[in-house]
Amino acid sequence: MDLGDILSNEQIITDLQAADRWQAIEELINNLVTTGKIKPENKAAIAAVVKKRETSMSTGIGFGIGIPHASTDLITEVVGALGRSKTGVQFDSLDNQPVNLVMLFLVPQGQFQKHLHTLANIAKLLHRAEFRQALEHAPDAESMLKIIREHGKK
């Protein structure tokens, strides 16, 4: 499962307002409700699962990247939302640096291999400096998605 398969223009927030990882997670989950990827009545339960996972260990992996993720039985397919912060989000990252790109994704419960594969693909892509810089400088969500789809094929 590649990042380009999970995202649409509507699932990319080009200017995250969040100041910390909890607000970023909330903002991205709200996006998934707005775009119809998760049901409004499941929002609180999904947020709780993501926050529980994040509490066990920050998904701020360094290089300005945060990848909050979780498994839940409240969805039937992998879903995600990408947020870009121009000012940086305090994420308790491994390198103690603020995060500029936050990629939240959810995997249906029991799909452990798909969860690991998706996480690995996203992390590998976001570790490329030229890819991160291209996303950070893209003018809009459409351009960001185009960059994701082009780099995802490399």
pLDDT of residue 152: 73
pLDDT of residue 114: 87
Assess whether pLDDT exceeds 90 at residue 100. yes
Assess whether pLDDT exceeds 90 at residue 10. yes
CA–CA separation, 109 and 148 (whole Å): 26
Q: What is the mean pLDDT of residues 126-152?
A: 93
- Choose among 35, 59, 51, 32: nearest CA to 43: 32
pLDDT of residue 1: 66
CA–CA separation, 143 and 147 (whole Å): 6
pLDDT of residue 115: 86
Assess whether pLDDT exceeds 80 at residue 50. yes
SS3 10: helix
Assess whether pLDDT exceeds 80 at residue 96. yes
Query: What percent of the chain stands above pLDDT 70?
Result: 98
Q: Tell me the domain boundaries of the chain.
A: 3-152
CA–CA separation, 61 and 93 (whole Å): 6
CATH number belonging to domain 3-152: 3.40.930.10
* Cβ atoms of residues 38 and 32 within 8 Å: yes
